Copies of this chain bind each other. A is one copy, B any other.
Amino acid sequence: MLDTALRQRRALLHETRCQTCSLASLCLPLALDIEDMDQFDAIIRRRAPLKKGEPLVRQDAPFTSVYAVRSGSLKQVTSEGRGDDQLTNFYLPSEMVGLDGIDAQRYPGSVIALETTTVCEIPFDRLDALSERLPELRAQIYRSMSKEMHEDRRMLRLLSRKTADERLASFFTSLSARFRRRGYSAYSFRLSMSRGDIGNYLGLAVETVSRILTRFQQQGLVTVSGREVNILDLAALEALAEGEGGA
């Protein structure tokens, strides 16, 4: 039995090494050579997997680390005032959590696992120190942050100009692209978030999300069964997402 535990532990350690990580090509150490990757690897902290609903970071907690998602998914929720939560982000494997806490030195929202989720913890002070010697790593940090800003701008546009249908279509095409990029099917996947989460994220009432999903099915764009999604007409969804509904 001890043997099993040992093997599991070794497997875990093995898995946690960047060099053998299947996400390495999408993650922070992306551009590093073998030697540098070892240095990077050395500052990463292992973490027990998070269970569904468990917070990775809590809003307003002191900023110490950023995190790379290895498997599973999370949502970022910012509470302000009484019960007025806003879901500001979903995080999928290879994406970075916590970069928005650098400025205020506190995390601006809680980040909560949507399913069983594993992450790599990267203490920021050590990352920063390492980035001093590794220009490629520095560039990758800048790129990650810049990309998130870029994404946020897309989201601003979605919220201020798009109709409910366009928002849902955007949501699906964006998820589809993100899954594809990670080597999963672009057409068939399982949502880890509830309708409520989706609505909150897209600025829509749950009822609206539900209604539009049934309409999308009637239109033959997708099939949805619970959280199982099948995209039938990606091109049409993409057109819809860009506002070519009937204009």
Instruction: Point out residues on A near B: beta carbons under 8 Å.
Output: 78, 80-81, 84, 86, 88, 99-104, 108-109, 128, 131-132, 135, 138-139, 141-150, 152-153, 155-157, 159-161, 200, 202-203, 242-243
Measured CB to CB, the closest approach of chain B to A113, in angstroms, equals: 20
Checking B84, B147, B156 against A88 with a beta-carbon cut-off of 8 angstroms, the contacting residue is: B156
A185 CA to B102 CA in the complex, in Å?
Answer: 29
The minimal Cβ–Cβ distance linking A30 to chain B, given in whole angstroms, is: 12
Given A108-B153, A135-B128, A159 and B203 contact (CB-CB distance below 8 Å): yes
In the complex, are the beta carbons of B132 and A128 less than 8 A apart? no
Taken together, the copies of this chain in the complex come to 2
Assess whether B243 is in contact with A149, with CB atoms less than 8 Å apart. Answer: no
CB contact under 8 A between A157 and B103, given known A132-B132, A150-B108, A243-B84: no
Question: Nearest-CB distance from A233 to chain B (Å)?
Answer: 20
Chain B residues with CB under 8 A of A143: 102-103
Closest to A76 in B: B153
- Please name the residue on chain B nearest to A159 by beta carbon: B159
Given the known interface contacts A132-B135, A142-B102, A146-B103, the answer about A156 and B156 at a Cβ–Cβ threshold of 8 Å is yes
Bound form: Cα–Cα A147–B63 in Å = 14
